[in-house]
Structure formats: C-alpha cells, structure tokens
Structure 1
C-alpha cells in the first residue's frame, strides 16, 4: 500500500517560502545588475527578510548565485541529454549536451564566469556548491553515455574522455580572453576541440 507523504508543517512551509523569496529576489537582481553590482542587503530587502535570515540560507553572494544558477544548469543538462539521445553521430550528440549548458552560462556573462569560479573554488561542504558539483558529474556521465553509444570506446576511456570534454567546456567558458566572444564563437571553439577527442 503506498504511503501518503505528510504535508509540511508550518515551520517547514515558512522556511520554503523564505527560500523561494530569496531565490526570486536574487534571480531578478543578478539578472538585472550582475552579481558584482548586487549586495546581500539588496537581496534581503527585495525578499523582505533580514540579512541575518538571508545568511541562514546562503553565507555570501557566491552561494546565492549557486542557489539561483544550479536549477538553470540542471534544466539545461536535461534538455541536452534528451536531445543527444536522438542524434546519430558522436560529435553531434556531445555538442547537444554541451550547447544548452554554454547558452545557460552565457545568459549574463559575468554571472556565468562568477558561477564557474564558485563551482571550482567554493566550499565543497556547502550544499549549493555540492549541487553544482553534482551537475558537473551528471554532465560527464551524459557525455560518457553519448560517447559509449556512438563508438567502440571502453567504459573507462569514455569516462576519461568525458571528463576532458567537461574541462574543455568549463575552461573555455571561464577564460578571461573569451569573455567578449559570442555564444556561437564559444560553441565553435569547444566543438573544434571536442572533434579531436571524438575521433579517437
């Protein structure tokens, strides 16, 4: 017999409602001004909470950006994974996974680069950072699966190649020299590098 989940208590509903307000406020302000030009006080004010309450959910702007962006990156990955399963060649399948992630990162270039720095250098014990690293791991798994479907690549080799492709993607997006490039140019650069790996 299925177990009916218990409804959330008032305290849990209250916490979720505050988290939703914080997420909405940070999303709007980061999109409008960029992460560097937004203060935690502005986010707290927009969410109609005290800064002390805000810091219970995220200790700094980096964690707030991770909170906001993780959901977008996870959605982008799922779209890419679904599309990759319909593409019959290895390069096309890998780029189907990569493309929506790059597009997500480039919606607001400074925010995207800040997010990548937080992902790499943030506190691994912090939950939002852990979620970001989980998205990276799932991205590598999706790429490895695409490599395995389209060629005689052993499982270990597919996983290693996927990790290299993931590194290529993140370094290309994060590099300062690429900050002014268009999304199409970033994708073209990544595709050129991935095509060398996909031919192995």
Structure 2
C-alpha cells in the first residue's frame, strides 16, 4: 500500500466489490453542517492515526498523540474514532477496500488460479506493512470489539466465502466439479488454508514466499479432489 495518505472509504460506484460495506456505513442520507463538521474532524483523526501508526508504530502511538496531531480533544477521538484498535482496524479495512477497486480476477482462468490470485491479493497487502498487519490481525481476531464490529467482520468473511462458493457452483454447472461437493464447505476449506498461511507468516514460522508456494499446492490439491 504505497503513499502516506490516509485511506478513504470507497465511493458508491465501487460498492459492487464483494468486500465493501454499504454506503450508509460512511455517511448519512442527508448531510447537514453539523455532519460536515463531524466528518472533517473524523478525517483529521484518521489521517493523524494513520500517519503515526506508519511512522512510529502502533504500540508507541497513544490516543493523546492522535488528538494532538489532529488538533481535537482526546474525548473527540474516543467518540468519533473509537479506541486505538478500532482506528487501526477501520483504517486497514478502508485501505483494503481502496485497493480492491483496482483488483480484477480473470474469470476464464482455472479455478485454482482464481483462488490463488484472490488470496494472494490480501497477502501482498499485508506484506507491504508486516508490523501493522500483525497488530491488525491480533486486534481483529482476539481484540475486545463491539458486537457491531464483529458482525461487520463476519459479513466480510461471509462475502468472500460467498464469492468462492459461487466459483465452485459455476464449475459444477459446467461439469468440471463433482455435484456432491457443498460449496460452503469448499469455501470454508479454502479460507482455512488462507488463514493458516497468513498466521504462519505473521508468527514468523516460515518465509512468506515459501508459504505462498504451499498455499498454491494446497489449492491445487483441493481443486483436484473436486474433479469428477
């Protein structure tokens, strides 16, 4: 993820990408002067947090530093931006969504190649900033988050697995995959391979390129088992 600019929510035209949240997540239907002032302060908070996270690290950044950089009160950061973990998660998700606008999968490619290209997109994103990625994954998986935040993350995962399930359904309809394989179970298996790859790398167990090769072989073996 190049550049130092803070990632912004995607425009409505990009919301057909499978992992985006509804437009209402970012802005009310009718924008008032108060709404604009609130959004302007939130933008400053997000920009300050993103800059501090990238330059001095997540652990060394405090809410007070973010408030000073954004020129707002500490309480304003807590009310508008949430906790430090919430800010990191929302910024990472916005950055992923921003990059997804340019991402395309070759619909004519073999299933195992589509799966690898899709999952490797996320690996490449995390590879660009491994330290922040470790904190992001830790807070996402194990952090103290609200039910709404958990629900949004589950919705993203469900959307990704829905995309993968749809690819298998297409293969089944074309006669290239067994009809008795459950698409949801297949997508869960693929996601488990991806999550194992990501966590093994973030934990420092193996080099990422070695894990990429293992992921590709795992996907090839999984798809091969589907063939009639």
Fold shared per TM-score above 0.5: yes
- 1:166-199 per-position Cα deviation (integer Å, ceiling 9, x unaligned): 12212321235436724x3342232222222122
Over the residues paired in the alignment, what is the CA RMSD in angstroms?
Answer: 2.7
Cα distance in structure 2, aligned partners of 1:7 and 1:153:
50
Query: More helix per residue: 1 or 2?
Result: 1
- Shift in alpha-carbon separation, 1:154–1:71, aligned structure 2, 3 A: farther
Instruction: Say whether 1:168 aligns with 2:193.
Output: yes
How many aligned residue pairs are there?
A: 193
TM score, norm. by length of structure 2: 0.72
Structure 1 unmatched ranges of 5 or more? none
Q: Is the 8 A contact 1:172 1:186 kept in 2?
A: yes
Instruction: Say whether 1:105 aligns with 2:126.
Output: yes
Q: Is the 8 A contact 1:72 1:104 kept in 2?
A: no
TM score, norm. by length of structure 1: 0.81
- Shift in alpha-carbon separation, 1:98–1:108, aligned structure 2, 3 A: same
Find the residue that maps to 2:146 and give its secondary structure.
coil
- Shift in alpha-carbon separation, 1:166–1:139, aligned structure 2, 3 A: same
Q: Is the 8 A contact 1:141 1:162 kept in 2?
A: yes
What corresponds to 2:167 in structure 1?
A: 146
What corresponds to 2:11 in structure 1?
A: none
Structure 2 unmatched ranges of 5 or more? 1-27
What corresponds to 1:88 in structure 2?
A: 109
Instruction: Say whether 1:62 aligns with 2:74.
Output: no
Find the residue that maps to 1:178 and give its secondary structure.
coil
Q: Is the 8 A contact 2:166 2:183 kept in 1?
A: yes
